[in-house]
Amino acid sequence: MTRLQKTVLILVAVIAAVIGLTFSKVLHGSRQADPAQLLEAGIVLLPQARRLPPVSLTDQNGQAVRVDGLAGQWTLVFFGYTFCPDVCPTTLAQLRQLDDRLPAAARERLRVAMVSVDPQRDTPAQLKQYLAFFDPAYLGLTGELADIQQLANALGIPFIPGDTGREDYTVDHSGNLALLGPDGTQRGFVRAPLNVAKLAERLPQLVGQP
């Protein structure tokens, strides 16, 4: 093989590699989540991932759960309570609608967790019964009020505890959701009120990423 032939073969290989990379970016670039489009759907990404405190809570089956160990899936964390008259049932119903609209691959990578802001009344059994009305697969967490407040403050979704000395007290809390990545860190928020249609369109782009 002459030097000219070798040079031509090398140039052909380089051009093929460049074309391959270009097509790869075209094919896979559309799968990357666009922050502007996510924001339009109410998804706000943090500039840097935030680690969770090493708080241990109890799930609806009475098992201890370390919240900083919620890894393996993307997780939407909602702070609410079972005696909530409006925000909580509405939000959980919307999350159920969202789940129905997501493709199977996205559903498998996404988990919903409700952390009780009313641990005095929300026992594991109470949480289990309540969440079963929406989706038995939802994770319910309760525990010591101080631990729950620590977690809520760390995630940037604080709440005001209810006056437990009053009958039928309510708890002031946000409808925003914390968004955890599959590594167990907080990646952002989903703002309330939820836009189910836009979330169903944009979330698959996000949860398809590591």
Arithmetic mean of pLDDT, 90-111: 96
* Neighbouring residues of 64: CB distance < 8 A, sequence distance ≥ 6: 56, 57, 58
Q: In the prediction, which pLDDT does 1 show?
A: 56
What digits encode the pLDDT tens for the residues 3-40? 544 443 444 343 444 334 333 333 333 356 788 889 99
The yes or no reply on domain 35-208 and CATH 3.40.50.10490 is: no
Q: Which residue has the higher pLDDT, 25 or 65?
A: 65
Lowest mean pLDDT among 32-36, 107-111, 203-207: 32-36
What digits encode the pLDDT tens for the residues 175-201? 999 999 999 999 999 999 999 999 999
Answer yes or no: are the C-beta atoms of 174 and 192 closer than 8 Å: yes
pLDDT higher than threshold 70 for residue 48: yes
Arithmetic mean of pLDDT, 129-150: 97
Please state, in angstroms and rounded to a whole number, the distance separating the CA atoms of residues 83 and 106: 30
Answer yes or no: are the C-beta atoms of 118 and 162 closer than 8 Å: yes
Arithmetic mean of pLDDT, 121-141: 97
Domain residue ranges of the chain, discontinuous segments joined by +: 1-30, 35-208
What's the whole-model pTM score?
A: 0.83
Arithmetic mean of pLDDT, 102-119: 96
* Neighbouring residues of 203: CB distance < 8 A, sequence distance ≥ 6: 41, 43, 98, 102, 106, 110
Annotated binding site: 84, 88, 173
First-to-last C-alpha distance (Å) of the chain: 46
Q: In the prediction, which pLDDT does 95 show?
A: 97
Q: In the prediction, which pLDDT does 209 show?
A: 76
Arithmetic mean of pLDDT, 155-167: 95
Where residue 140 falls (left for φ over 0; alpha for ψ -120 to 50; beta otherwise) is beta
Q: In the prediction, which pLDDT does 2 show?
A: 59
Annotated binding site for Cu cation: 84, 88, 173
Q: What is the mean pLDDT of the chain?
A: 87
Tally helices (H) and strands (E) across the chain. Answer: 7, 8
The residue with tokens 């380089």 is: 14
pLDDT higher than threshold 70 for residue 208: yes
Q: In the prediction, which pLDDT does 35 show?
A: 83
Q: In the prediction, which pLDDT does 36 show?
A: 85
